[in-house]
Amino acid sequence: MSAKTLMVQGTGSYVGKSLLTAALCRIFTQDGFRVRPFKAQNMSNNAFVTKEGGEIGRAQAEQAKACGVEPSVLMNPILLKPTTDVGAQVIVLGKAMGMMHAQEYQAFTPHLQSTVTHALNQLMEQADIVIIEGAGSPAEINLKEGDLVNMWIAKHARANVLLVGNIDWGGVFAQFVGTMELLDHEERGLVRGFLINKFRGDKTLLDSGIRWLEERCGRPVMGVIPYFPDVELLEEDSVPEQKRGVRVSDDQIRIEVIDLPRISNVTDFAPLEREPQVSLRYLDRPPADGSLPDCVILPGSKSTVADLAFVRQRGLDRYLNQCAEAGREIIGVCGGFQMLGQQILDPGQVEAMVSSMPGLGLLPVVTTFEKEKLTAQVRGVHLESQLPISGYEIHMGRMRELRDDRPVFKLIGRESDPQGYADGAQSSDGRIWGTHVHGLFDGEAFRRWWLNRLRQRRGLATLPEASSSSSDDVYDRLANAVRPHLDLKAIHRILGL
C-alpha cells in the first residue's frame, strides 16, 4: 500500500524545516510506523555519502537516521552543490552530472521531473509515512516555473502540507499571510495547518495572534515549538551568522576553522562545537588581536583553487605559517588538505580556469584534479593512536605524496582498493596533517584522544573517556522535546491515521 505523505514547507530559509522534519521522522518511528524522509532537490555543500557511494544532502542522511534506516539516494534525488554565486555542480541520484549555471539548470528541470517522482514513488512503497521537506519558500513566484521541491511535488504526492514560520526573527504572522496570498487556489488547498517555530517566552501572549491567523487563513496552528538551544542537528547550509567570530575562552582548547567562501561539509566540526571544553570559531581573516589558537583547520571546499586564492588575498597563508612556526596544530580536510600541499594541478580545467596553482607548501603532496569524482564510505584506523575511525570521501582531486612514509590513516572502503590504502600526510613532528576523510570527528574515541593531545600540549588536565550513549539519543531527545508542542491528534486526522 502506498504511504501517507506529510510535507514540511517554510515561509523562508532557516525557519527550521530540516529539524522539524527530523523530529517528525523520529516521532512517527517511535509510534511504530515505517517512515522515510524525502527532499526532491537540496542545495547544500554539506553532503553525505551513502553505502552505494552516492551523494545526498547531509540533512536527509540525518533524517534517515531519525527513521532508523540507512540513507539512500532516493531520499534526495537531486543535490545542487554551489561553486559560484550563479552555478552549481548537479548531482542526480547520487552521481555528478556536471556543472550548470542557474538559467541552464532552470531550463533543464523538466527533464528531472520523472527522476524525482520515480524516487518518491519507490519510497512510498517502502513506508507507511513519507515526511517530505520543501526548500526555501513555496511563494518564490520567480522560481515557480522550474519548481521541483515545493508545491509541484506536493501536488504529485497529494501531500498534507504544514507551513512553518520562524517567530524568533519576528514577523511570523506576516510570513504566513504573505505566503498564503502568493499561493494559487490549488496550492492553498494543500496547506492544512501552521507550525510556529523557535518561540521564546509566555505562550499566552500569542493567543490573540493565533486566533486572528486561524480566522484570517482558515487553517489551524498545529504547534508552537519552543526554541531549543540544546537540541542540535547538523546545519544544512554553510556557517550560520551567529557562529562567525564567536568569542574564545582562554581556559578552553581554542580551535579556529577558516571560513572559506565555498566551504563544504562544515558539519565535520559540529561534534567539536558540542564539546564543553572547546571554544571553536570560524574566521575569514587573521584575528586582529594577533592571538594564536591551539589548532587551525582548513576545511573542505567546493572550489579549492578559488578558495586557495581567497586564503592568500586575506593574508591567511601568512597566518598559517605563523601558526606553524609557533608549533600550533594545523589540519587540512579534503580541499583544505589539498591546499596544504605543494601544488594543485588541473590540466583538464575540471574545477577552475587555471591549470595549476602553487599550494601553501606545508605538506609534501601534489594534487591533480580528474573528471571522475571519488565517493565512498570508509573505515579504518588512526595509525598513531591505533583507534578506529570512520567517515566518507567526496573529492575529484587525486593526491600524490612526494614522501610516502608518513600517512595518517589506514582505510578500507574504495572499490578500487579492496585491500585497503593509506590516507593523509603529516609533517615530521605530526603537528601539520591532512586527510580526505569527512566525518572524522564524529567518532568519540578518536575525537577525545585528539583533544587530549591538544590539552596536554597546553598543560591542561585530560578529559575523561567519552560516554557510551548512542547517537540515536539525539533524535529521541529531539522528538521528545517537540512532541508535547504538536497537535498530533490533528496531524493524525489530516493523514487519515
Catalytic residue annotation: 334, 438
Q: Which of 21, 1, 36 is nearest to 123 (CA)?
A: 36
Question: Cell for 340?
Answer: 596544504
The answer to whether 351 touches 359, Cβ cutoff 8 Å, is no
Any idea what DSSP says for residue 35? E
Rounded CA separation 396/334 (Å):
10
Cα–Cα distances (Å) from 199 to 144, 187, 221, 226, 235, in that order, read 30, 27, 13, 4, 19
- Measuring CA to CA, which residue among 218, 285, 281, 220 is closest to residue 255? 281
Quick check: helix, strand or coil at residue 105? helix
Integer angstrom CA distances of residue 379 from 70, 420, 446, 447: 17, 10, 13, 15
Give SS3 for 146.
helix
Nearest to 397 by CA among 331, 347, 433: 347
Residue ranges in 38-184 assigned as alpha helix (H): 58-67, 102-108, 113-126, 151-157, 172-182
3-state secondary structure of 400: strand
- Classify residue 420 as left (phi > 0), alpha (psi -120 to 50) or beta: left
How many other C-beta atoms are found inside a 10 Å radius of the C-beta of residue 1? 6
In this structure, what C-alpha cell is assigned to residue 430?
605530526
- What cell was used for 219? 487553517
Helix (H) or strand (E) run with residue 390 in it: strand 388-401
**Cell 548531482 appears where?**
91
Query: Helical H runs in 326-443?
Result: 335-339
**What does the alpha-carbon distance between residue 213 and residue 458 come to, in Å, rounded to a whole number?**
56
Query: How many C-alpha atoms does 8 have within 13 Å on its Cβ side?
Result: 28
Query: Which of helix, strand or coil describes residue 415?
Result: coil
- DSSP letters along 283-312, please? ESS--TT----SEEEE-EESSHHHHHHHHH
Q: How far is CA 93 from the centre of its chain?
A: 18
